Amino acid sequence: MDNNPIDASKATILLMGLRRGGKSSICKVVFHNMQPLDTLYLESTTSPTQEHFSTLIDLAVMELPGQLNYFEPNYESEQLFKSVGALVYVIDSQDEYLNALTNLAMIIEYAKNVNPYLNIEVLIHKVDGLTEDFKMDIQRDIMQRIGDELLDLGIEGIQLSFYLTSIFDHSIYEAFSRIVQKLIPELPFLENMLDNLVQHSKLEKCFLLDINSKIYVSTDSSPVDIQTYEVCAEFVDVTIDLQDLYKGKLQNSNTQDGADMKSVSVLNNGVVIYLKQMIRGLALVTLMRPDDTDIESRLTVMDYNVDIFKKGLEKIWEKSKLITSSTGPNDTHDDAENAGPGTNGNTSATY
């Protein structure tokens, strides 16, 4: 993808879907910490809006109004589709979705022509109101129908990923985490580093989380348990909130103006949650279970290993800056695909 256009330094995610599908709500909840209930009062979006957020890489999420037709010539749709890394299509699972599927098939046909490297992600959204069985039925139905639609249009060999999401739980964060991960070229290295960390510190699970959005940039290769992720994400909140309360005072005494945030919590069943701030608004959150060994010594080992990990992260970051400024992002999306099996009904299918 060396002919990647103008916006090469930014991986952009394009958020599309029919109107009232919940696109703006997703943006507000994930990137602005809005309460899910407050999104009821969002106005209909009329023009494309863009969110920037920078974790390890700089990302932009562009939201398109649902009710517009992008195939009218006055939109620079070709340019648009060329410049993005992923297309996220939101389907309202509580509504009649046949229209949405036709719309999606058309978009795929167009987009794949323009940009064959585009990742296409489908969010089966608003599943909070559905029973467990019904969720599965709907997912199967949608996957089947979209396959048929694409077959009718004569397109083959397209990789689609499906996610069951809702803004009322952590599934939307998980889905976005996986989508973002596909856009990070350094992902295999990160995962490897985290695996190393897990092995040498005997951890149960670790996440590299973005502090603001709670999206995890990377995790080790063991399967993600959504509950573990929720606890880790909430632990970031707890740490930040407590820190904010006594902020003035922390800054006075801490020479590094609070940059080195670190917190450790021990639970009654012996689980230890460990958080340490990394570079660029990232935090490493790990879970460990030091059965009979002394917690203190384990933490010391942990501190040492995490320090090394942080240095590694800094090095990767420097290198990747050099690469992106010279050649544009390299395409390692295929490797990123094996990010571990989905836990929340995340599946991908090739048509």
Partner 1 sequence: MSSNNRKKLLLMGRSGSGKSSMRSIIFSNYSAFDTRRLGATIDVEHSHLRFLGNMTLNLWDCGGQDVFMENYFTQQKDHIFQMVQVLIHVFDVESKDVLKDVDIFTRALKQLKKYSPDAKIFVLVHKMDLVQLDKRTELFEIMMKKLKQASAEYGFNDLVGFPTSIWDESLYKAWSQIVCSLIPNMNAYNNNLKGLKDLMDAKEIVLFEKTTFLVISSSNTASGELLDPKRFEKISNIMKNFKHSTTKLKSSFNTLVLSDLIYVTELSSNMMCFIVLNNNTYPKEFVLQNLHQAQTYFQ
Q: Which residues of this protein are in contact with partner 1, per CB under 8 A?
A: 227-228, 230-231, 234-235, 237-239, 241-243, 245-246, 248-250, 253-254, 258, 260-269, 271, 287, 296
Dist. CA 153–CA 258, nearest whole Å: 56
Closer residue to partner 1 (CB): 46 or 269: 269
Closer residue to partner 1 (CB): 137 or 260: 260
Dist. CA 121–CA 161, nearest whole Å: 5
Closer residue to partner 1 (CB): 242 or 323: 242
- Phi and psi of 151, rounded to 5°? -65, -40
> Least distance (Å) from partner 1 to the CB of residue 257?
12
Give every CB contact of residue 107 below 8 A, 6+ residues apart in sequence: 16, 70, 87, 89
Overall residue count recorded for the chain in this entry: 351
DSSP state of 167: T
> Least distance (Å) from partner 1 to the CB of residue 273?
8
Q: Residue 200: exposed, middle, or buried by beta-carbon count in 10 A (0-12, 13-18, 19+)?
A: middle
> Least distance (Å) from partner 1 to the CB of residue 23?
23
> Least distance (Å) from partner 1 to the CB of residue 72?
42
Q: Tokens in use for 50?
A: 């863009």
Nearest to 160 by CA among 101, 238, 75, 210: 101
CA-angle at 169, arms to 167 and 175, nearest 5°: 70
Q: 3-state DSSP call for residue 340?
A: coil
Q: How crowded is residue 280: how many other Cβ atoms within 10 Å of its Cβ? A: 15
> Least distance (Å) from partner 1 to the CB of residue 275?
9
Closer residue to partner 1 (CB): 123 or 287: 287
Closer residue to partner 1 (CB): 96 or 296: 296
Dist. CA 161–CA 175, nearest whole Å: 10
Closer residue to partner 1 (CB): 69 or 253: 253
Dist. CA 200–CA 223, nearest whole Å: 18
Long-range contacts of 265-273 (CB under 8 A, 24+ apart): 265/235, 266/295, 271/204, 272/298, 272/299, 273/231, 273/232, 273/235
Closer residue to partner 1 (CB): 255 or 350: 255
> Least distance (Å) from partner 1 to the CB of residue 73?
47
> Least distance (Å) from partner 1 to the CB of residue 228?
7
Q: How crowded is residue 318: how many other Cβ atoms within 10 Å of its Cβ? A: 9
> Least distance (Å) from partner 1 to the CB of residue 124?
23
Closer residue to partner 1 (CB): 245 or 308: 245
